[in-house]
Amino acid sequence: MRVLIEPREACILCMVCVAICPEVFSIRGDKILVSGTPWRGEAPRDMEPCIEAASSNCPVDIIVLEQDNDEEAPSGG
């Protein structure tokens, strides 16, 4: 599953995603890392509930999940 922070300019670095799902999200300087990669990365499917919780609690609603078959999962918010 692919996870994107889009548009990244809208990220306010509130760290809600990090607090909810630290296995996937972290912060370095002025960037949110997704599985160690700035702004986008791959996450194991078993982390989907955690990522969806982070997405639905993101105050600027910019966490996007893309399924392996390129279908975009609904993001919360």
Domain boundaries, the chain: 2-73
What is the three-class DSSP state of 8? Answer: helix
pLDDT at 47 over 90: yes
The CATH fold of domain 2-73: Alpha-Beta Plaits (3.30.70)
Higher pLDDT, 73 or 46: 46
Q: Give the CA-trace dihedral at 52, 58, 62, 66, to 10 degrees.
A: -10
Say how far apart CA 14 and CA 43 lie, in whole Å: 21
- The answer to whether residues 3 and 65 touch, using CB atoms and an 8 Å cutoff, is yes
27-44 confidence digits (pLDDT tens): 999 999 999 999 999 999
Range 17-41 burial, b when 16+ CB lie within 10 A, else e: bbebbeebbbeeeeebbbbeeebbb
Q: Region 6-17: what's the mean pLDDT?
A: 96
**pLDDT on residue 32:** 96
* Percent of all residues in the chain with a pLDDT value above 90, rounded to a whole number: 86
